[in-house]
Amino acid sequence: MKVIEKFADEVISSGAYKPLDRVYVINKVRGLVGDHDEEENDQAAVKQLVDMAVKNKKIPDDVTSREVLNDQLYDLATPTPSKTNSIFWQKMEKSSEKATDWFYKLCVNNNYVKKEAIARNVVFSGTSSKGHGLEITINLSKPEKDPKAIAAAAHATGKKYPQCALCLENEGYLGGYGKNARSNLRIIRMNIAGRPWGFQYSPYAYFNEHCIFLDQKHIPMVINQQTLINLVEIEKTFPHYFVGSNADLPIVGGSMLAHEHYQGGRHTFPMMKAKIKKSVIFNEYPDVKAGIVDWPMSDLRLISDNSLDLIDLGSKIIKFWDQYSDVDRDIKAFDGETRHHTVTPIMHREGKSFVLDLVLRDNNTSKDYPLGIFHPHKQLWHIKKENIGLIEVMGRAILPGRLKSELEEVKKYWLDEDNDMADSHKEWADKIKSEQNITKDNVDQVMEQALVEVFEQVLQDAGVFKNNADGDKGWNKFISALIENVG
């Protein structure tokens, strides 16, 4: 069969069009890739069609043009936004899991979720010497930036459309140099606490069914009582997913502070499995179980079936932390009018109970720590220099793609083979080499454990109350003041 005809049949079998539309679909495809058709081969039909479009001079042979056409073709096999929403909410009447299962499968089948690219990521887990289970990923899924796209972004002027990568206006957007291709994006419309929001999946997911909840308006992120109300509403709608927000300040926040959004999905992170190491009693909230979590970062957990009490107590803790300082531990709430404190709030369900983790964050800098006092310290930058956001707070490292090749050179160095190891890794590599007998049989295991230990230290650096005697004093001082304030 010819590849255009084959793809037309795939489009019709997806349900986006009827058999009567076959000639129309064929001509839509011809309009995108050219009239010259070829016999199908072992490649996926869309990949072959994109190659044909290059041969037929319909598009230039560059990363961006190929991506734009790829998504245009998959868009033909995707129901319209109105149809997608109609099917989703019909399925929601039966089961939220059935609805998300259907929507996720749609987004995989239409290549919005880039499963093939995601599969290239390096992923493993381990337990640190401190006893914390941690997950490590080396991110290889996102494609390298197209030089033409970089140049276009550098010369862009005026108001952007869409304003950012999270805006609702991305749905169906063609894209181009310096602009994300989103022809095959579909967003589920929903109300969260009386406001219009959207729900979509992440194209380059960091974990299973990685999704994004986004305010339909382009407004800045903020963490307050409304955040907790919203997280509860989402958990009531999708109890099989966790949901959380990046912090709303630079250094300790995510990369998209300009647009209010949350992340969620179907994954049990290490932090969610960590136990409470010290209970905290709030007498005014007998229905809320609370405590300090055994975790490298400073996490106060609240558990309750009573979502109203959980929201009320949680919002009081956020407000109190916003104003709290401890000069002995470099914890400072304000410089003049500049706020330095916030939380990373994360929620999931355990049966009927809502579980809220409030991870305390401080974004102060100093002469010794110009990128952040509570940020990975300089000796770790050869592995991890970027901000510690929501996903990493929960115990899943997202390490830069450069490490895949760099760490292969470190392993050669350990085995006394010819290597091109980066100087930045030498001190770390020498320390590990001096402590262990490294062989070809155990070198991979040694490397994985070494990365787990680095990530443990990354999270320890980001914690405001350290896991030591002084940190315990800091926690006790904070909790005493908090109880006195909130009851």
Q: Which residue has the tokens 């932390």?
A: 321
* Residue 155 reports pLDDT greater than 70: no
Spatial contact of 114 and 203, defined as CB atoms under 8 Å apart? yes
Spatial contact of 321 and 334, defined as CB atoms under 8 Å apart? no
Question: Per-residue confidence at 154, pLDDT binned at 50, 70, 90?
Answer: low
Question: Per-residue confidence at 236, pLDDT binned at 50, 70, 90?
Answer: very high
* Residue 149 reports pLDDT greater than 80: no
Whole-number Å distance between alpha carbons of 170 and 163: 9
Spatial contact of 168 and 187, defined as CB atoms under 8 Å apart? yes
Among candidate residues 82, 77, 71, the one with its CA nearest the CA of residue 25: 77
pLDDT value at residue 255: 77
Whole-number Å distance between alpha carbons of 396 and 385: 15
Rounded to an integer, the average pLDDT of 215-232 is 97
Could you tell me what percent of the chain has a pLDDT over 70? 97
* Residue range 300-322, pLDDT digits in tens: 999 999 999 999 999 999 999 99
User: In the 8-state DSSP scheme, what is residue 255?
Assistant: S
Mean pLDDT score across all residues of the chain? 95
* Residue range 30-39, pLDDT digits in tens: 999 999 899 9
* Residue range 276-307, pLDDT digits in tens: 999 999 999 999 999 999 999 999 999 999 99
Could you tell me what percent of the chain has a pLDDT over 90? 93
Spatial contact of 223 and 315, defined as CB atoms under 8 Å apart? no
Which tokens go with 107?
């987004």
Task: Give Dmax over CA atoms of the chain in angstroms.
Answer: 77
pLDDT value at residue 136: 98
* Residue 152 reports pLDDT greater than 90: no
pLDDT value at residue 159: 79
Whole-number Å distance between alpha carbons of 60 and 68: 11
Whole-number Å distance between alpha carbons of 184 and 172: 6
Whole-number Å distance between alpha carbons of 188 and 281: 40
Cα-Cα-Cα-Cα torsion 90, 93, 96, 100, nearest 10 degrees, comes to 0
* Residue 157 reports pLDDT greater than 70: no
pLDDT value at residue 153: 60
Which tokens go with 40?
């199908």
Question: Per-residue confidence at 160, pLDDT binned at 50, 70, 90?
Answer: confident
* Residue range 382-440, pLDDT digits in tens: 999 999 999 999 999 999 999 999 999 999 999 999 999 999 999 999 999 999 999 99
Whole-number Å distance between alpha carbons of 204 and 185: 13
Q: Which residues contact 185 (CB under 8 A, 6 or more apart)?
A: 112, 170, 171, 172, 173, 200
Q: Which residues contact 454 (CB under 8 A, 6 or more apart)?
A: 380, 383, 384, 428
Q: Which residues contact 472 (CB under 8 A, 6 or more apart)?
A: 465
Question: Per-residue confidence at 253, pLDDT binned at 50, 70, 90?
Answer: confident
Query: How many C-beta atoms lie closer than 10 Å to residue 231's C-beta?
Result: 29
* Residue range 91-142, pLDDT digits in tens: 999 999 999 999 999 999 999 999 999 999 999 999 999 999 999 999 998 7
Question: Per-residue confidence at 256, pLDDT binned at 50, 70, 90?
Answer: confident
* Residue 328 reports pLDDT greater than 90: yes
Q: Which residues contact 151 (CB under 8 A, 6 or more apart)?
A: 177, 178
pLDDT value at residue 150: 58
Whole-number Å distance between alpha carbons of 87 and 90: 5
pLDDT value at residue 204: 93
pLDDT value at residue 158: 65
* Residue 156 reports pLDDT greater than 90: no
Helix-helix angle 225-237:307-323, to 10 degrees: 150
